[in-house]
Amino acid sequence: MKEIKTAEGIIVLGANPKEPVEDLVYKATIQKTSGYAQLAGIPTKDADMHTFGTDLRDENFKFKAVPPTSTKQLVQILANDLCRAYNPNASFMQNAARDLAITSGNVEAGINMVKTCGFFLKGVSELPPKTFGVTPMGNGEVLVFTKAVNYQAGYIRQWGQTTAIDVPPKETMELIFGIETEFILTGLRRGGIYAMREASILPISRKPDSAPDGIIVQAPVTKTKISASHKRIYSACDGVDTTNYDFGGWLYFVVL
């Protein structure tokens, strides 16, 4: 991770229409510039930027539906519109952060403003992993998405509210289980900090054995196996057993 030592080193990343849709939506919906006098003149205000994100998200849902009710072309048009609004904001944010770093004599002040407002610094901030992510959408809703590990897979999500980023929740809500790779979680406290982690489970095939009398019987099932990534896989046909799947790390997000 690159250390920023001067104001000129504060480089705020923009948005590219060729980026994955979920990344563009995430960038747009986490913008939070209100409260900074230096950002009062930002070209596209928070609410309008969030609308660009949710419009793109909704159109992408329609395109991915079976059967689709939108087209890739319409999704791309909205992605282009989002980027045209986001990039001037990123440039405005960069200039404001550099000015703050210079006037305060503290480069960390500029860096913290960029991060607090939901923008990304080159060489410092990264987007959430593509395999599992949570995108705040506004109105107390978040989009949870994951990369499918198998067409027969199921996913278990554990989540709860916490007090700060990187502090796991002391109490968790009821587990969310399903086969969906994307879903919307509603009714969250706006401004609240939450954490979520995920485990995937796969069914393990039962191989039939033939008894002496010719009757087909089920062979014993091995409840766990090791995947190529050395993670245990739970056998869904054996019921829920919390010793047979592993959660990944906590992913933290702030609800808009």
pTM given for the model: 0.55
List, for residues 158-202, the tens digit of each pLDDT value: 999 998 877 899 999 988 888 888 888 889 988 888 999 998 887
Instruction: Looking at the structure, tell me whether residues 146 and 61 fall in a common domain.
Output: no
Query: Do 179 and 102 share a structural domain?
Result: no
The domain tally of the chain equals: 2
Domain extent, residue 36, equals 7-116
Residues 62 and 69: beta-carbon distance below 8 Å: yes
From residue 34, alpha-carbon distances to 118, 187, 199 in Å are: 11, 23, 36
CATH value at residue 153: 2.60.40.10
Residues of the chain falling short of pLDDT 70: 1-2, 124-130, 151, 203-244
Bridge partners, 196 (sequence order): 159, 251
